[in-house]
Structure 1
Amino acid sequence: MASTTTAAQVANIAESVMGGMFIETFIACLLYGITTLQTAYYFQTYSDDETFIKCLVAIIWMLETAHTAFCVEFVYEYLIEDFGNFFTFMTIKWGVGATVICSVGIATCVQGYYVWRVWVLSGRSRIWAGLVGALIVTRVVFGIASAVLCYTCPSWPVLRSKRFSLVTVSGGLGAAALADVVVAVLLSFYLKRGRHSAPRSQQSDSTINRILLYSVNTGAVTCSASLLCVILFAVQTNSLNFLGLVEIQAKLYANSFLGSLNARMLLRDTRIRQPLYSQGDGSVRLRTPVIAVYQQTISRTDRSVSKGSSDFRRSADLKELESPA
């Protein structure tokens, strides 16, 4: 009876400490599959892109692969190698720090790309690009500090007891969330300004609205994930749910980046399905599809007809084919 109670207690501890983190890591692995699919689709569809963008996509995918491998590694250590020993849940596995480093690298690449987009849309304004760049550097510094703490602190209780740990986690994730918000606001502002200054059309408004909606949604998702990680780290002191959400956040950054690249083909297809043409008064209207029906005459001549008569009938038939009904 005592052994049964002990086993039940160990199971309850494992569920409360590792249950949420295990499910979140599983979701992160599913998101990695979507990342791989989007990467393959990008290289097959956009082979004419600049070499810099292709290299950035390849680097992000490699970081995502390493990040997923480290996630599987520390979950395997917690639940398989140390099975039945709930005291091991208090220790910090070496794969945790590796995933933090990979997450920082992924977020830096993705947010750096967004800084470049802001720089281009703002007419190469150094002020806004410098502001977002400073937030990214802050995120990198705090992220590296958090990874160092994972290797210097022997257990989670020791790490949580240090006030510096809350500063590094909240500072790094808070800077990432603020950078996402600033990027979304700046992209929305410059896209709207470009829409008001450019010639108006139904198709251009629809395209810009799609881009605005995508930019705001992706920024809101990654920002919400960052804030939720900080809240879980500060509130749930006896659980590792925040760690699983940190792993999901890295996947959200990669998928938002690849999604923004792969969405270009969808916008092009929309323009093709709704062709436009300009009138003389400067207005733009949808082109109405026109179906032309032509008559075709089949002429059968007798073998006894002369060559000149056959040529005459053939030329008459061609003229009738060229005349619309």
Structure 2
Amino acid sequence: MWARDTLPPVMIAFLVLNTTAVGLRVYVRSLMSKAFSYDDWAMLVAFSGFVVLCITTFISITNGYGAEDFGLNPSYDEIMAVKFFVISTLEYVIIVFIAKVSVALVLYRIAATNKPIRRLLEVSVGCMAVWTLATSTIVGLQCRPLSFAWGEGTGTCMNPKILGNTGFSISAMDIISSFLYASLPVFLLRGVQLSLKMKISVIILLGLGVLSSVATVVRLKCLVDVANLKSAVGPEAMNAYLTTFVYSITELGITIFTASVAALRPLIKMIKWGRTEVSGYGISSNKKSQRSRPHMGPPIRLDNVHSKASTSEEYIIPKEGAAKNTHAMVTCTEV
């Protein structure tokens, strides 16, 4: 089962990536900017939840969830495997909401003077809260009692189509919110003068936001398979759930990473971009300034102007003829 083999490396990769990104965010916001605020606390909660989600999923897989010999291998604990995967599913629904809220709070802080966008963000968070409450309730009541989901006692479980439709609902919330939050910076930064490096950073952040939405869209195909299951339990169901979870972890990991990198502007500003060149007339980062004054003659080394064979006037006065007027200009252009 490719999903069972793929899920652990994906979780490890995003744990390492997001631990680094969130750690840098905490460093920048608390020590460099000294502006640690509510959006940073929300991100720490989302990241902590993501770590717990990965741990419970690891426990489920370690105990044999999704294995081909699940139920046949005595080394596997079937009840532990299913129990922790159900817990992971509930955690995912809640953590997605917290991660989206952390992204919304980053934009809310940036839009300090833009009341329409702030109202839009408030409405979006309210809608996601209602949405999350409804979907988490359905997931939590998928079996009555819930312990029946992992084989303890007797009871009944919902039709797989209901769980599939619930997954569609969660995906719809993810897609709408991801594209909304990825597009809002365009309106926030419209008309704002930015340097080239900051424009590049904004483009990267927008691209990552859309990338998380792409992972959610791909997951829709897996949810169709879940909705078409004949039973909510069994090897076929476990494989379908794990396949969905691969894209769920990917989407959540990218969301946390994107929101964390968005706070690293002070570090980005410290990166040296381009190189500085020295010309005969000043300091420039490119050759355009040299071509803008062709009548000034060729550049010379400053130590040559003191030679007896030539004078400095020969190089600073236009050869076409002009009144003697020595003028020096030093410019520094940051790209």
Q: Please, what TM-score do these two structures have when normalized by structure 2?
A: 0.63
The residue aligned with 2:9 is 26
Structure 1 pair 141/22, CA: closer, same or farther in 2 (3 Å)?
farther
State the one-letter code of the partner of 2:52. Answer: A
Task: Tell me if the contact between 1:135 and 1:175 (Cα under 8 Å) persists in the aligned partners.
Answer: no
SS in 2 for 1:194: coil
Task: Tell me if the contact between 1:70 and 1:96 (Cα under 8 Å) persists in the aligned partners.
Answer: yes
Tell me the distance in 1 between the aligned counterparts of 2:122 and 2:39. Answer: 21
Following superposition, the deviation at residue 33 of structure 1 comes to 1.9
- Residue correspondences, number: 255
Tell me the distance in 2 between the aligned counterparts of 1:182 and 1:213. Answer: 15
Following superposition, the deviation at residue 169 of structure 1 comes to 0.8
Structure 1 pair 229/138, CA: closer, same or farther in 2 (3 Å)?
farther
Tell me the distance in 2 between the aligned counterparts of 1:288 and 1:43. Answer: 37
Q: How does 1:214-253 map to 2 (within 5 A)?
A: 214-235=204-225, 237=229, 238=236, 239-240=239-240, 241-253=243-255
The residue aligned with 1:103 is 92
Following superposition, the deviation at residue 216 of structure 1 comes to 2.2
State the one-letter code of the partner of 2:210. Answer: A
Following superposition, the deviation at residue 72 of structure 1 comes to 0.6
Tell me the distance in 1 between the aligned counterparts of 2:130 and 2:5. Answer: 29
1:144 counterpart (136, 142, 147): 136
The residue aligned with 1:268 is 269
Structure with greater helix percent: 1
Determine if the alignment matches structure 1 residue 187 to structure 2 residue 185: yes
Following superposition, the deviation at residue 159 of structure 1 comes to 6.4
Task: Tell me if the contact between 2:90 and 2:136 (Cα under 8 Å) persists in the aligned partners.
Answer: yes
Task: Tell me if the contact between 2:93 and 2:135 (Cα under 8 Å) persists in the aligned partners.
Answer: yes
Following superposition, the deviation at residue 170 of structure 1 comes to 0.4
Following superposition, the deviation at residue 81 of structure 1 comes to 10
Following superposition, the deviation at residue 249 of structure 1 comes to 2.5
Two-structure CA RMSD over aligned residues (Å): 3.8
Structure 1 pair 21/194, CA: closer, same or farther in 2 (3 Å)?
farther
Determine if the alignment matches structure 1 residue 93 to structure 2 residue 90: no
SS in 2 for 1:85: coil
SS in 2 for 1:93: helix
Tell me the distance in 2 between the aligned counterparts of 1:163 and 1:105. Answer: 21
Structure 1 pair 233/169, CA: closer, same or farther in 2 (3 Å)?
same
Tell me the distance in 2 between the aligned counterparts of 1:177 and 1:106. Answer: 15
Of stretches 244-253 and 221-230 in structure 1, the one that deviates more from structure 2 is: 244-253
Tell me the distance in 2 between the aligned counterparts of 1:80 and 1:235. Answer: 16
Q: Please, what TM-score do these two structures have when normalized by structure 1?
A: 0.64
Determine if the alignment matches structure 1 residue 78 to structure 2 residue 75: no
The residue aligned with 2:121 is 129
Following superposition, the deviation at residue 150 of structure 1 comes to 4.9
Q: For 1:95-131, what per-residue CA distance to the aligned partner results, in whole angstroms no more than 9, with x for missing partners? A: 2232233323332233223323444427122542244
Tell me the distance in 2 between the aligned counterparts of 1:93 and 1:161. Answer: 18
Identity of aligned residues (%): 7
Structure 1 pair 160/22, CA: closer, same or farther in 2 (3 Å)?
farther
The residue aligned with 2:295 is none
Q: For 1:134-173, what per-residue CA distance to the aligned partner results, in whole angstroms no more than 9, with x for missing partners? A: 44224413441353145547569x8683432222110112
Tell me the distance in 2 between the aligned counterparts of 1:98 and 1:110. Answer: 18
Following superposition, the deviation at residue 230 of structure 1 comes to 2.3
Q: Which runs of 5+ in 2 are unaligned?
A: 151-155, 230-235, 276-281, 286-301, 304-335
State the one-letter code of the partner of 1:250. Answer: L
Tell me the distance in 2 between the aligned counterparts of 1:80 and 1:110. Answer: 27
Determine if the alignment matches structure 1 residue 64 to structure 2 residue 55: no
Structure 1 pair 77/97, CA: closer, same or farther in 2 (3 Å)?
same
Task: Tell me if the contact between 1:110 and 1:253 (Cα under 8 Å) persists in the aligned partners.
Answer: yes
Task: Tell me if the contact between 1:24 and 1:248 (Cα under 8 Å) persists in the aligned partners.
Answer: no
Tell me the distance in 1 between the aligned counterparts of 2:43 and 2:52. Answer: 14
Task: Tell me if the contact between 1:222 and 1:252 (Cα under 8 Å) persists in the aligned partners.
Answer: yes
Structure 1 pair 90/175, CA: closer, same or farther in 2 (3 Å)?
farther
